[in-house]
Amino acid sequence: MKKVWTPDILNTLIKESGKSVDTVAEDAGIGKSTLKFILAKRYPPSVDALIALADYFGVTTDFLCGRVPENELPDIQAAFPQYFTGLVRCAYEKSFKGKPRKITAGYLSVWPYNLLDDIFLDPVSFVVNEDQMNGLMTAIDTLTPRERELLLLCYKDGNSFIEIGKAICLTNQRVSQIVHKAIRKLRHPARIHLILDGVNGSQAVDEERGLISNQKRKLIQERMELEKLKEECKTIAGQKEELEKEKIELLEKLEKLNAIDPLDAPLDLSELNLSVRSFNCLWRAKFKTMRELLDCAKAGELHRVRNFGVKCTKEVLQKLYDYGYITYAQAAEYAELNKVNNYGGSSWAPMIHERKEETA
């Protein structure tokens, strides 16, 4: 016996959804005229159109064609929840956004999709699994007791604000304020994360985020240490550069000093460790270099220095010999030239002992 297409079940589904034929055709992705011809029994639906309509209403193609009794539909919807998403979307009118929704008779409850739609401000496109449902309930448990109670009465039980207000002695405006405040709280990123990932998934993600956070913290510490080392290297480089400049300056000074004969260097009479009288006499005579002092001794002019007697002359010649500026023979010769022996009766010669310093 040949089966004849009957649009009775399809007409019933469209009527109970509250949608127009044009809206259903547009949402299901088939032509408006095609759906009208199918409903008018002009011709049966094609395979693609039948599958599109079945997916849209969340039923099987067998049920849409009348091959499954109506009393078996709940079992099918319970066994295949993924096919029920489309039916859930048609179970209430989206134009009453923000208000409690009554579930059309003959359809399964849209909970928790009605709440999720308002949380995400758009119809959700996923089927809630058990872990996500536990995550949603955990997020709801973080609300205050009154917010949690009114939210479940509104979205889970399908009560209107007026019905809830009468039950707990509040105005419907106050009920609306509490419910919408609870929804705003559920939009917090931490609660959204809990709803989308579920309890187990949220814990796993939190652990992973903890590891990432620790790694990020370590990287920041390493970066700070590197910056510190970088600054220290800059400081060391600056110090090295300054030391190099000082080294160059000292080498230049040393080079200049090496180019000067020690006898032509400025005379420092304190190096000879003279007595006070000898030091003052020579200082007042303004000898500038050791060469001038030696030339004066060699020329026999030391005795002509003001207040410079024989004793001072002997002392200076002895010091010049001690510090290696003149030899023993030169000291005896300079003593003769500076008339040291004219007053002593016997010729003077320097005392021979280990010299303090070989400077000449």
Q: Using alpha carbons, list the distances in angstroms from residue 343 to 229, 311, 339.
A: 78, 10, 8
Output the CA angle 16-17-19, nearest 5 degrees: 120
Rounded to the nearest 10 degrees, the angle between the axes of helix 113-120 and helix 189-258 is 40
Structure tokens at 249: 């300056």
**Calpha distance 263→293 (Å, rounded):** 9
Which residue intervals of the chain are DSSP H helices?
8-17, 21-28, 32-39, 47-57, 61-64, 73-79, 85-89, 113-120, 130-141, 145-151, 161-168, 172-186, 189-258, 276-285, 290-298, 310-322, 328-337
- Where in the chain are all domains bearing CATH 1.10.260.40? 8-89
Q: Which residue has the tokens 């200082």?
A: 283
Q: What's residue 181's pLDDT? A: 93
Q: What's residue 102's pLDDT? A: 40
Nearest to 336 by CA among 354, 322, 317: 317
Structure tokens at 29: 């992705």
pLDDT mean by block of 10 residues, the chain; 360 residues = 70 85 88 88 84 82 72 58 44 38 41 82 72 88 92 86 89 91 91 84 62 76 85 85 87 73 74 85 84 84 82 85 86 83 71 56
**Calpha distance 52→36 (Å, rounded):** 15
Nearest to 191 by CA among 200, 202, 181: 202
CB-based contact 282:293 (threshold 8 Å)? yes
Output the CA angle 177-178-183, nearest 5 degrees: 95
Count Cβ atoms below 10 Å from residue 31 Cβ, excluding itself: 13
Give the burial class of 14: count Cβ atoms within 10 A of its Cβ; 0-12 exposed, 13-18 middle, 19 or more buried: buried
**Calpha distance 311→289 (Å, rounded):** 22
- Where in the chain are all domains bearing CATH 1.10.10.10? 94-191
Nearest to 76 by CA among 59, 64, 61, 56: 59
Bridge partner residues of 289 (DSSP): 266
Q: What class does CATH assign to 8-89?
A: mainly alpha
Question: DSSP characters for 252-295?
Answer: HHHHHHHTS-GGGSBP-GGGGT--HHHHHHHHHHT--BHHHHHH
CB-based contact 264:289 (threshold 8 Å)? yes
Sort residue 31 into left (φ over 0), alpha (ψ -120 to 50) or beta: beta
Bridge partner residues of 139 (DSSP): none
Query: What sign results for the dihedral spanned by CA atoms 59, 64, 70, 71?
Result: negative
Q: What's residue 345's pLDDT? A: 60
Q: What's residue 358's pLDDT? A: 44
Q: What's residue 140's pLDDT? A: 92
Non-local (6+) Cβ contacts of 168 within 8 A are 150, 175
Bridge partner residues of 266 (DSSP): 289
94-191: CATH number: 1.10.10.10
Non-local (6+) Cβ contacts of 120 within 8 A are none
Non-local (6+) Cβ contacts of 347 within 8 A are 332, 335, 336, 341
